[in-house]
Structure 1
Amino acid sequence: MTRTADRKEAALSSGTPIAILLDPAPAAVRAARKVGARCLALASPSASPEVRQACLMADERVDVDWSDHPSLLEAIHHFADPPTRSSDRRPRASVLGFTAVGSLAAARANESLGLPGNPHAAVAYLTDKAALRDRVNRSTASPVRFERCDRVAALVPTAERVGFPCVVKPRTGSGGTDVHLLRSAADADVFSRRSAPEPALIVEEYLEGPELRVDVHSRDGRHTVLAVSRRVRPAQSPSPASPGPGTFVLTGSARGWDLPVDLGRREQARVQRLAETTLTAAGHRHGHARVEMVLTRRGPLLLEADADPGADPFPEFLAAATGHDIHALTLAGVLGRPDPGVRRSPAGYAGLRRILSADGLPPAPERVEAARAVPGVVSVDVRRRTPAPVGTDAPSVPRLSRRLPEPPGESVVLTGRIGGITGSPHITPRRPAGFPFGDTRTGPAGDTTGSQALRGRRAPAITSRVAGHDAQVAVIASGPTPGRVATALRAAEARLAPPGRLPASPHREAARAIVEAARAAYGARVGEVVAEGSRRVGAEADPRRTDRSVGISAGEPSGSRAGGDTDRGEETPLSP
């Protein structure tokens, strides 16, 4: 037996439960200690610096590609719970994930090892929008019209049956990624020509109204609503399939959330009932879940649900207003520990805002400290997102283009056609092995592949969508009234950005990654990408283009056409 196994056996024999955490945040490690559990952190090869910091805080750390089920089982097989074990003993260990992929991997591992946790099928239902929609429709009085679509050739008739306006999106994923609004059959036709031949899509009716998020804690199948928050977002979303002036790139580019929401007793009861119905229909039994819905004229209707807390600032945001530590609640439930309760004197109201950098760079440290000093501000979290690398291995036409945002200050679309494989870091992640509802037709590392008619033959193309910004600042404020929270958030934003600077800019480094890949294949003819505020991203403007887009071209053959820029960076067809 190895030294690591000896330590595990010693921990198990002591009776202390062990939380096995997949790429945890520091808050999750602290929560494990809070409920009296030891912590084993499993760090994936792509773990962020924050995750690696959390792993240093854990009792033990193992580097393993936990997205690979056999590798995960090999790393933690010592914790397997034999079927002959007395049922009245406390759980010895449980695996927990903190993303959609992590939650699915954890559920599968728990089932394989006989450890407590959510059923694998329950997490899978919450991951697959079509499967969940089908189940919830059978349990509610106001079903949402939808159809599955696995072939782009069937998209137009599918959308016509659902009715316009409708929304098309991947069956997996969350956060509004790759959600498109189809207003007509023409929009559906445009979208189908830009999609992979065999996508895994859901087409559903467009739900109009305020968007709510319901955070729920479940223990042994009993659901308790912890909070209901309301999304604060730009007015125009989701993205249309054929963009025009004022198009926004991401449905999920929300400015933030406010908590709580005053819905009135009757509407609040309907919202809670829909959340509980959704989780019961999926079979969710343990831990945290978030149910997103739209408050329509017909009442609350399901948008999507997930078995994970989502982006990391949200647990802290929830704790600021309600006092609930959702990580500690989840760990206590699956490990048989006492409920941790709520912290003393929660503020009652809280707001979360994601402030986008004006120049693509993080704010100066003194500005961050000034924002943190604002009365009522709980935290100011600065994160810099590194774009996925872009490569090339096939001869094709490199072209970088973008649409000028209207009004200025919104996200920018950059499309680079370089060749080789398709790479798009924001497209729905690969469905992990063991998913019971079929293949998503996606490739590794979150990339979706397809072929494109190019230079008279079928050849793979590379598309890198750039939507977002290099730096993002998450500000959380709390207070006894909504007015004080709003005042604190405005003051923090003012201290983070100097007067006169626009609140958003292009994702310059991702654009440079596209250009560098093109340069590697085609030499110095490809120009440099620069950013000026958020009104113009340039390079050597393509003299053959007369529209309002700015492009880079390197040897584009006369037989190809540029095509229109896309709203979210999908491929624009080229003529043979």
Structure 2
Amino acid sequence: MASDIILLGARPFICERAWQLGARPFVIQHPERSEDAVNRQSDRVLLMSYEDPALIPMLKAAHALTPFVSAVTIAEEALIPCARINQALGLPGTPLDLVEKTRDKPAMRRVLDAGGFSPVQWAAVKTHADAVTFAEKRGYPFILKPVDGVGSIDVRLVRSVNDLEGVLNGTSSWIAEEYLDGPEYSVEAFSFAGRHVILGINVETKNTDPIGSEFLEVAHQVPAPMSPERDREVRAFIRGFLDVLGIKDGPSHTELKYTSRGPRIVETHTRLGGDRLWDLVRLTTGYDLLDMTLQWAMGTLKPLEADPIPRGGAAIQYFTPPPGKLRRLHGMHALKRLPGVVDISLVVDVGTTIRPAMKSEDRAGYVLAYAETVQQAQAICREVTQRLVLETA
């Protein structure tokens, strides 16, 4: 018998996975984000805002007729509404107060400060004067980002007071944090009754194009090239962090910097990571984080006993061609036949206007590769990126 689950912000590939795993999804989506491919394969679709006050009463009525087992999402903006639904319907899932801590950056910093974990200098700021005061105490450069930001949007590196011009209006809430040096990693974990299993450690590559966002991620590699000592340290650090935060069950995606003073938390999310990181983990471990998340919601996931040992290496590189109208595109079908290429995907075509790479949606597509080592996988990605023709005018 199929398990009835609530899917918030479902994309076609998520719905398909849910059906294949034996779930019967009840899809909730913002009307402006509705996709025909989702609506056609789902027999119950509710197009309304996640914040609509009528949503939970409607779901309670549906739950009384055909009980749901849980609500689940992999969309960042839907994490709090999803937790509210589970709380209101008495269903399992990540607790609302915990999700709120991860979505509110100052709240998470306060939890870490209280636990004496990953010390980072920070301050909540709203005005230009607030930010200048922080800089006078802590110095330049520092990081400025929205307290509930998503996907590196509006994150800024403030090198001097000139970079603050016109940014803070006194109404929006921001957090100022000390600049953390060193490479950036992200860690994919799944928790089982307070026991944290780490499935993959990824090293992130940021955008270097000066007209785009320097915080936009353009490449990932799993497993992250690092010494065995650093690997053990990062794993222990993440387990300690998840304990301090209070995460007991479900997926988590945590970003950290390995600084000159050791590892420091950047932020975390109670979901699997984006940017096809689940594919990199699946290729190197055999475990599919998307399937695991859905099975966890359905109550059918069997706990993992230990961290899987990665086999080979996987990498993904995103295409960020120069801005302008795309006038020539070729090479994808030939390059897909290269040994080690798992997938090449493009979201643009001739005539598309390419925007400066400021956010994830501005990237033109990606190449995904797998090889005996992560360095070889990354080399395949670089070759495809160099040979693929994405000519703009």
Give the match for residue 224 of structure 1.
197
**Considering only CA atoms, is the larger Rg found in Structure 1 or Structure 2?**
1
Alpha-carbon distance in 2 for matches of 1:497, 1:374: 16
Using the alignment, how far apart are the partners of 2:118 and 2:279 within structure 1? 34
Give how far 1:347 is off.
5.6
Match of 1:138 in 2: 114
| Partner SS, residue 70 of structure 1 | coil
Look up the SS of the partner of 2:342 in the other structure: strand
Are residues 1:374 and 2:338 paired? Answer: yes
Q: Given the alignment of the two structures, is residue 173 of structure 1 paired with residue 149 of structure 2, yes or no?
A: yes
The SS at the match of 1:273 is helix
| Aligned pair partner of 2:382 in 456, 470, 490 | 490
Matches within 5 A, 1:157-556: 157-184=133-160, 186-187=161-162, 190-234=163-207, 247-339=210-302, 348-358=312-322, 360=324, 367-384=331-348, 411=356, 472-497=364-389, 501=391, 532=393
| Distance in 2 (alpha carbons) for counterparts of 1:28 and 1:220 | 25
**Gaps spanning 5+ residues in structure 2: where?**
none
Alignment partner of 2:364: what SS?
Answer: strand
1:124 aligns with 2:100: yes
Deviation at 1:470, TM superposition (A): 5.6
Distance in 2 between residues matched to 1:360 and 1:272, nearest whole Å: 43
Deviation readout 1:345-373 (Å, 9 max, x if unpaired):
98631001111234645687753322322
Please say if residues 146 and 202 of structure 1, whose CA atoms lie closer than 8 Å, have aligned partners that are also in contact.
Answer: yes
Residue 41 (structure 1) shift: 2.1
How far the C-alpha of 1:489 sits from its partner, in A, is 1.3
User: Matches of 2:259 and 2:275 in 1, distance apart?
Assistant: 28
1:213, 1:293 within 8 Å by CA — same for their partners in 2? yes
Equivalence for 1:53: 37
Q: Distance in 2 between matches of 1:44 and 1:142?
A: 37
Q: Per-residue deviation at 1:103? A: 1.3
Q: TM-score, normalised by structure 1?
A: 0.60
C-alpha distance in 1 between matches for 2:362 and 2:311 = 32
Contact 1:363 1:497 (8 Å CA) reproduced: no
Q: C-alpha displacement at 1:207, in angstroms?
A: 0.2
In 2, distance between residues paired with 1:34 and 1:468?
28
* TM superposition shift of 1:410: 10
In structure 2, the CA distance between the partners of 1:370 and 1:194, relative to structure 1 (3 Å rule), is: same
Which amino acid is 2:181 matched to?
Answer: E
Contact 2:184 2:257 survives alignment (8 Å):
yes
Q: Deviations over 1:305-339 (max 9, x none)?
A: 11233435232233222222112212222322143
How far has the Cα of 1:233 moved from its partner? Answer: 2.5
The answer to whether the Cα contact below 8 Å between 1:18 and 1:92 also exists between their aligned partners in 2 is yes
**What is the CA-CA distance between 1:147 and the residue it aligns to?**
1.1
- Tell me, yes or no, if the aligned pair for 1:293 and 1:304 is still in contact at 8 Å: yes
Q: Quick check: 1:19–1:93 contact (8 Å CA) kept in 2?
A: yes
Among 50, 61, 83, the alignment partner of 1:67 is 50
For 2:33 and 2:74, locate their aligned partners in 1 and report how far apart those are by CA, in whole Å: 12
Shift of 1:467: 6.5
Secondary structure, aligned partner of 2:44: strand
CA distance in 1, matches of 2:137, 2:175: 13
In structure 1, distance between residues paired with 2:200 and 2:91: 29
Compute the displacement of 1:139 (Å). 2.8
More strand by percentage: 2
What amino acid is the match of 1:67? Y
Cα displacement (A) at 1:55: 3.9
Separation in 2 of the partners of 1:331 and 1:78? 23
Q: In structure 1, list runs of 5 or more residues that go unmatched.
A: 1-13, 83-90, 236-245, 386-408, 413-465, 506-531, 533-576
The 1-side partners of 2:10 and 2:327 are apart by 26
Q: Does structure 2 retain, via aligned residues, the 8 Å contact 1:379–1:477? A: yes
Q: Give the secondary structure class of the aligned counterpart of 2:33.
A: coil
TM-score (norm 2): 0.86
Is the partner of 2:175 in helix, strand or coil?
A: strand
Offset from partner CA, 1:122-143 (integer Å, 9 cap, x none): 1111111111122123334541
Contact 1:259 1:321 in 2 (8 A): yes
Cα shift at 1:120? 0.8
Larger deviation: 206-215 or 121-130?
A: 121-130
Q: Which stretch of structure 1 is more off in the superposition, 95-104 or 26-35? A: 26-35
State how far apart, in whole Å, the 2-side matches of 1:489 and 1:46 are.
34
Residue 468 of structure 1 and its aligned partner are, at CA, apart by 7.8
Q: Distance in 2 between matches of 1:380 and 1:31?
A: 21
Alpha-carbon distance in 1 for matches of 2:359, 2:76: 21
Identity %: 26
Q: Higher helix proportion, which one?
A: 2
Deviation at 1:175, TM superposition (A): 2.5
Residues 81 and 113 in structure 1, CA contact (< 8 A), matched pair in contact too: no
